[in-house]
Amino acid sequence: MTEASTINGYTLHRVLGRGNTSLVRLATNAQGQLVAIKLPLAETLAVQDAAERFGNEVRLTLQFRHPNLVRGFEGTPFGPTAFLAMTYYPRGALNEQLATLPGKTLPLNEALRILADIASALTYLHRQGAVHQDVKPQNVYVTEEGRAALADLGNTYFVVQGGKTSGSPFYMAPEVYQGEATSSASDVYSLGVMLYELLSGERPFSGSTYEELMVSHLTRFVPPLIHLNPQVPRPVTRLAELALAKRPAERPSADQLRRALLKALGEEAEEIVIEEDKPVVEATRPVGRHGPTPAKPTAPEPVETVAPEREGRHWNPFRRRR
């Protein structure tokens, strides 16, 4: 399937990125417009859990509608022709953009805008009762105008139905390392890591192995953001520090972060109106984590990152060390 030149009317072109379970290719639709096509690998389709995770991503990407979530156009959740057609972002993922910048930092207002957009996407998801579970720059895409959108809903689940705990070690909350269930507060923690990363140029917690990262997240405290970047407005620095609280109940909501970030940009925070979402894709069996039986919390499952094709081989922090 990955060698095919077309799929469901889309003409496939070069590979944009490849991860452990899927690859993303540039494509054109029948009208000649560029889109990104995500395709599961053959080995992904052969493993039920991985195949269901891809199906979950297809269904939720097509179901949810928000300007700060990557837009899905069409998809097939299961089978040998499974795919997901999405908006194409020529600038690539945010982590790719940061890697090319001096000090890996954006101008202050550009960083605040991206963070406000992701906080808005999370506010929308959390009000739907959903948890993203994998907020990180690798899953953020930015337009030429500097507006950001959150991608990869493969590990997203609805709280009332339960879900398998998952995350990426650099951005996982302490409770996730301890194998507890994720929540909206876990997403806020991940966003807090991104706040520090984008506004100071460094991740707040580091380690060369999974175990070192776990110890760092569980036991270490970050310095005040204002000391790392005095230009950041104080209300934002205060909430950024609270977002990294070890206890979930002490963290602000995504909406509180959204409002503070928009205020720092000199904008008024509009209310996010939730309309009834109707699934676009009807699966013939439960998709991913949305079956009728709530799943019990399990040890966190580090998830993949789609690596740029030009990136070299290096230690993969998204795979648990055995």
pLDDT at 298 over 70: no
pTM: 0.83
Whether 167 maps to a domain, the answer reads yes
Summarised one tens digit per residue, pLDDT across range 6-53 is: 999 999 999 998 888 999 999 999 999 999 999 999 999 999 999 999
Whether 304 maps to a domain, the answer reads no
Count the domains in the chain.
1
Instruction: Note the pLDDT of residue 160.
Output: 82
Whether 185 maps to a domain, the answer reads yes
150 strand-pairing partners: 69, 140
pLDDT at 283 over 50: no
CATH number at residue 128: 1.10.510.10
Summarised one tens digit per residue, pLDDT across range 72-117 is: 999 999 999 999 999 999 999 999 999 888 877 899 999 999 999 9
Q: How many CB atoms lie within 10 A of CB 46?
A: 10
Reported as a pLDDT band with limits 50, 70 and 90, residue 310 is: very low
The amino acid sitting at 31 is: Q
Whether 89 maps to a domain, the answer reads no
For residue 15, with 0-12 CB atoms within 10 Å meaning exposed, 13-18 middle and 19 or more buried, which class applies? middle
Answer yes or no: 117 catalytic.
no
Average pLDDT over residues 230-240: 95
Instruction: Note the pLDDT of residue 289.
Output: 33
Whether 211 maps to a domain, the answer reads yes
SS3 141: strand
CA neighbor of 119 nearest in space, from 254, 237, 229: 254
Helices (H) and strands (E) in the chain, counts: 10, 13
Instruction: Note the pLDDT of residue 104.
Output: 77
Q: How would you classify residue 103: left for phi > 0, otherwise alpha for psi between -120 and 50, otherwise beta?
A: left
Whether 79 maps to a domain, the answer reads no
Instruction: Note the pLDDT of residue 276.
Output: 53
Whether 244 maps to a domain, the answer reads yes
Contacts of 267 (CB under 8 A, 6+ apart): none
The amino acid sitting at 227 is: H
pLDDT at 320 over 90: no
Cα–Cα distance list, 181 to 91, 163, 166 (Å): 34, 8, 9
Summarised one tens digit per residue, pLDDT across range 184-214 is: 999 999 999 999 999 999 999 999 999 999 9
Cα–Cα distance list, 4 to 8, 119, 274 (Å): 11, 38, 39
Catalytic residue among 134, 152, 187, 255: 134
User: How far apart are the C-alpha atoms of 232 and 31, rounded to whole Å?
Assistant: 44
Whether 251 maps to a domain, the answer reads yes
252 lies in which domain range? 94-264
Q: How many CB atoms lie within 10 A of CB 284?
A: 8
Reported as a pLDDT band with limits 50, 70 and 90, residue 162 is: confident
Measure the N-to-C terminal CA separation of the chain; round to a whole number of Å.
32
Summarised one tens digit per residue, pLDDT across range 70-80 is: 999 999 999 99
Taking each helix axis from N to C terminus, what angle separates 184-200 and 234-243, rounded to the nearest 10 degrees?
130
User: How far apart are the C-alpha atoms of 146 and 215, rounded to whole Å?
Assistant: 35
pLDDT at 159 over 70: yes
